[in-house]
Amino acid sequence: MNSKPEIPHGFNTEAEERTFWENHDSADHLDWTQAEKVRLPNLKPSSTSISLRLPNALLERIKVAAGKRDVPYQSLIKIWLAEKLESNSGR
């Protein structure tokens, strides 16, 4: 017999459901020991588009470096930024 209260059904809006979960602990309604791991291979991390002004000569050098690596230049910029942050995180 399950002694946990049932999750209400029939929320009228997403906001109503959000309010419910903001005020209730899911552990009171679900047996998390029965949860199974899932893989979501097509789920992409959220990102935000930004505008960045670069000198033309610098952008051209980045594009050349990206071409040598066969990656889009925007991806190479992201890789370099992440590497720089990682190397500075120990400081």
Q: What is the pLDDT of residues 31-84, one digit of tens each?
A: 889 999 999 888 888 889 999 999 999 999 999 999 999 999 999 999 999 999
Residue 72 lies in a domain: yes
Distance CA 42, CA 38 (A): 12
Tell me which residue range forms the domain holding 68: 50-91
Indicate whether 63 belongs to any domain.
Answer: yes
| Overall pTM surpassing 0.75 (yes/no) | no
Q: Is residue 2 part of a domain?
A: no
DSSP state of 88: H
Domains contained in the chain, number:
1
Reading the block at residue 91, the tokens are: 């400081």
